[in-house]
Structure 1
Amino acid sequence: MPVTVLKGLVHATGYGPSRKLERSLGFSKATQEKTLADLLERNRGTVYGKRHGFGDIRSSLEYQIRVPIQDYDGLSPEIDRIRRGDKGVLFPGCDRLHMFGLTSGTTGNPKTIPITDRYVKRFRQTYSIWSTRILRDHPGLVEGKYLAMYSDWRETFTDKGVPCGAVTGLLASLQPPWIRKRMVAPPQVSRIKDPAVKEAAVLHHALAHETVLWTSANPSTLLRLARSLAKNLDDLLRGLSDGTFPHLSELDPAHRNHPDFRPNPERARLIGRRIEVGGNVFPTT
């Protein structure tokens, strides 16, 4: 896709939401009150909304008084009902349920978070704002490909057949084709279970292309990748040049045949020359 066309697409999808956000910054309190009012109105007919009288709440102060602070355990009965297929519990029945996001479960069993159409819509608006502003500040990003870290959004399924997994995987699958084509890691990477194998595959794909942007929901992931890249650079470049990958047998059959695993000595030599000039291969801002 020509660079000018890509810039136009990003501008067309993100300019309006970006300007709306900028205007609202001068009226943050009023914007927050309106957002809360919209949420209360939309969810007043849900089980949770009726229980706490959403229809009678007129301000954020009233909301604080009438709706107690909740932790996951407090909401787990409602989430269990949603898992069983009940509608209109925490969100309107008209909202499509895409999946349940799984947390890391550092303090016990993984928690399941309902992900609806409305969440996806809000995310897309946020992403379009981010894309517009990052290309404004870093116009060179339109020239290369992107390394976006995401995991499988269909790790398991509920008894009703609803997928459970990583929200990042769902959002990546819903990106428009012109964005997915610029992502260096193919979808099969998200289904690699072994973290070390996944990391090695991601770095191999990244080196095979002019990768100009690394993104992840967790900044520590990017730091770990950068350290691994520096530590294993010689082996990675050798594999890129020879067309070898030590974990090839552990990948999906379709993934094994990916063009990035073919010998690419020219690309490896180019990276080597850049390292000689710049001193390292770390990403730059």
Structure 2
Amino acid sequence: MSLKSIAAKIFAKRIHVRTQKWATRPVETQQKVLRDLIRKAKSTRFGIDHHFDRIRSHQDFAANVPVRDYEDLKPYVAEVLAGHDNILWPGKPLYFAKTSGTTSGAKYIPLSKDSMPFHVQAARDAILHYIYQTGKSEFVDGKMIFLQGSPELEEKNGIGLGRLSGIVAHYVPKYLQRNRMPSWRTNCIEDWETKVNAIVDETINENMAVISGIPSWVQMYFEKLQQKTGKPVGEIFKNFNLFIYGGVNYEPYRAKFEHLIGRKVDSIELFPASEGFFAYQDSQNEKGMLLLLNSGIFYEFIKADEFFTDPDGSGPRRYTIGEVETGVNYAMIISTNAGLWGYNIGDTVQFTSTSPYRVIVSGRIKHFISAFGEHVIGKEVEAALQEAMQGTPVRVNEFTVAPQITPAEGLPYHEWLIEFEKAPTDLATFALKIDQAMRRQNMYYDDLISGNVLRPLVVTPVGNGGFHDYMKSIGKLGGQNKIPRLSNDRTIADGLKRV
């Protein structure tokens, strides 16, 4: 065992102890975060506009700071982009993470001097918790890769603009620089397919130990490695034993990954976003990711089935960490040390534990199917597909679900568009398995099937590379872009049928 590996174990124990101090005092920790945020930002334009000097409690905060999405916050962001300081947070942001919005065009999410360290620290601590729990640290001597956006940044009025993953690349600790791949030059390649080919060439003869990224794009990397060598990834990289991922649920990809790798590998799930690094998997034995309550982010939660209601004119109730329950679908609202206030990130979560507070990402508050009142969410479709695949050789590359409200004949239905790596021998039976799993999970969907309002779902196979071609056609191939698991209209479904 190397000195680096031994040092990693010692550091991992220290970080575990430090984490326990705030994880065992969740309510107190979050109250302190809110007080600190209000105190630091009370003299900003936003703080003055929203009477931060009068806020003494969460009730005061909720009364003065409404829940916002990006469109509502955009006027303040525009002032910062124009070069003004002390608008959302003291001074100016260090960066704006540029993301693609579906309704707002490009979004510019601020990253401040106060918030930036937590993005790096959280990723580090996720790996250290894995080391602490498993005792495995030898991988720190091997090569590590993160499939990410270009680190090249633009600049506007003294503020750097770029993709979050590209910005974070500037903060890789020195002790990891020798292990990190790909090279800076390769990372700067904009065209995704060209970039993946270059990464294959750079890494194919290296001692890769850790590979990370969004599963759908790592899958592309693995497929190209296999095409070039004719070998499974686990044979090419004999010491590859840890996959780190975020952005989407790994489970629908797991069977395909294990086939590409040729064996099982450990995995760590992360919950990062431009708006903040919210959670990471701290245990290999417990379900869910540890919600980071001590990272400059104050969390509020709105029950998803109440999100679009306004019973008394003050909006739906906003729950704090001490008030949430396990198994309930919540929209997550954040206020951060980068200047986001009462901000709806769009993700929904469910708590799997309240001691400590662990979450799973259950979907998107705007990504659901409720054409007939069924309100099907992402977690349900992923779980149903996984259940149908169990005990079968079926492997799935990608999928999405959309309602078919006006079929040419018969009752409406949910259409599942699936790109198979290995298709079922009997597609109708496989579709019925998914449908039965959906009915067990969602009683509203079950009622609609039983009441002959909907007919059982239909699976439509998508040709090999169909999702890749669709993403390319809309300019969202690679990087942090991903296909929504489901939508309440047919934009994606019809787009897939056109390519």
What TM-score results when the alignment is normalised by the length of structure 1? Answer: 0.74
Q: Does 1:193 align with 2:190?
A: yes
- The aligned runs of 1:1-285 (5 Å cut-off) are 3-5=2-4, 7-8=6-7, 11-12=10-11, 16-93=14-91, 97-136=93-132, 137=134, 138-158=136-156, 160-216=157-213, 218-230=214-226, 232-234=227-229, 271=236, 281=261, 284-285=265-266
Q: Which runs of 5+ in 2 are unaligned?
A: 240-257, 267-499
Q: Counterparts of 1:152 and 1:273 in 2: how far apart (Å)?
A: 28
Distance 1:135 1:236, change over 3 A: same
C-alpha displacement at 1:15, in angstroms? 5.2
Report the more deviating stretch, 44-53 or 135-144: 135-144
Deviations 1:62-110 (A, max 9, x none): 21222100111111111111111111000112xx632211113344521
Deviations 1:2-41 (A, max 9, x none): 93135426744x6555423222222212211111111111
**2:151–2:166 Cα contact (<8 Å) kept:** yes
Q: Which runs of 5+ in 1 are unaligned?
A: 238-269
SS at match of 1:164: strand
Q: Counterparts of 1:27 and 1:273 in 2: how far apart (Å)?
A: 42
Q: Counterparts of 1:97 and 1:153 in 2: how far apart (Å)?
A: 17
Q: Counterparts of 2:45 and 2:180 in 1: how far apart (Å)?
A: 41
What TM-score results when the alignment is normalised by the length of structure 2? Answer: 0.44
C-alpha displacement at 1:112, in angstroms? 0.9
**1:101–1:115 Cα contact (<8 Å) kept:** yes
Task: Please provide the CA RMSD for this pair.
Answer: 3.0
Q: Counterparts of 1:157 and 1:110 in 2: how far apart (Å)?
A: 15
**2:151–2:170 Cα contact (<8 Å) kept:** no
Q: Counterparts of 1:166 and 1:272 in 2: how far apart (Å)?
A: 29
SS at match of 2:110: strand
SS at match of 1:88: coil
Q: Counterparts of 2:61 and 2:191 in 1: how far apart (Å)?
A: 44
Q: Which has the higher strand share?
A: 2
C-alpha displacement at 1:131, in angstroms? 2.9
C-alpha displacement at 1:222, in angstroms? 2.6
Distance 1:7 1:116, change over 3 A: farther
**2:144–2:208 Cα contact (<8 Å) kept:** yes
**1:154–1:163 Cα contact (<8 Å) kept:** no
**2:182–2:203 Cα contact (<8 Å) kept:** yes
Using the aligned pairs only, state the percent identity: 20
Q: Which has the higher helix share?
A: 1
